Amino acid sequence: MSFYSVIMLWTYSHFFYYFEGQEWKVIINVLLFTFIVPGLFIAVMRGFRLISSFDMPERKERVMPLFVSLLSNMSLVYFFYGINVQIWFLGLISAPVLVHLLAIVINFFWKISVHMMGIGGLLGAMMAICFNVNKQNPFLLFMVLFIFAGCLGVSLLYQKRHTHGQIYAGFAIGFVAAYLVVWASVYFVMTV
């Protein structure tokens, strides 16, 4: 979610003008904290047979990978906070932290679709940035993201990895949580 958000920022906002010549520093750190570290941890867990498969079909198998991903995302927020980025960008990077926290809590009671939480969060965060920071409505971007979300949901249903409720709830919770975090960060900037 964070990596795709940053790539979309490159296209739909003025964010990278602040880091002209350092774009790769931003992208590499986002990849490191949100993809490489959690991915390596999951691969190690699979190698030690702490999880039965990369799909992690059991709720109990998902707790540690979600927790590591949460810590990695929190580290990314700390990194960007240290280099004084705009508060709305910190909101964008913080949105996955809230989504992960919600996923961990919900996972103790119910197997929600974390993939749908992620794509819902991506869409919610992008809408919040576009509507509240850039004051624009990139209709085509939103349509493409909704189509991707629909394809992901259908594929999860087809593979029988989740129920309809787990998919709809995952998307809705991810969308609302990410939108509210980014919106709150923009509102904070406007009132300070």
Give per-residue pLDDT as tens, 37-72.
999 999 998 889 888 887 777 888 888 889 999 999
Please say if the pLDDT value at position 24 is more than 90.
Answer: no
Please say if the pLDDT value at position 14 is more than 80.
Answer: no
Range of the domain at 106: 2-191
State the Cα–Cα distance between residues 40 and 94, nearest whole angstrom. Answer: 22
Residue 149 makes CB contacts below 8 A (sequence gap 6+) with 116, 119, 120, 123, 171
Please say if the pLDDT value at position 21 is more than 70.
Answer: yes
Give the per-residue pLDDT at 41: 92
Residue percentage of the chain with pLDDT more than 70: 95
Give the total number of structural domains in the chain: 1
State the Cα–Cα distance between residues 43 and 73, nearest whole angstrom. Answer: 18
Among 41-45, 89-93, 149-153, 187-191, where is mean pLDDT lowest? 187-191
**Most confident option among 23-27, 45-49, 165-169, 182-186:** 165-169
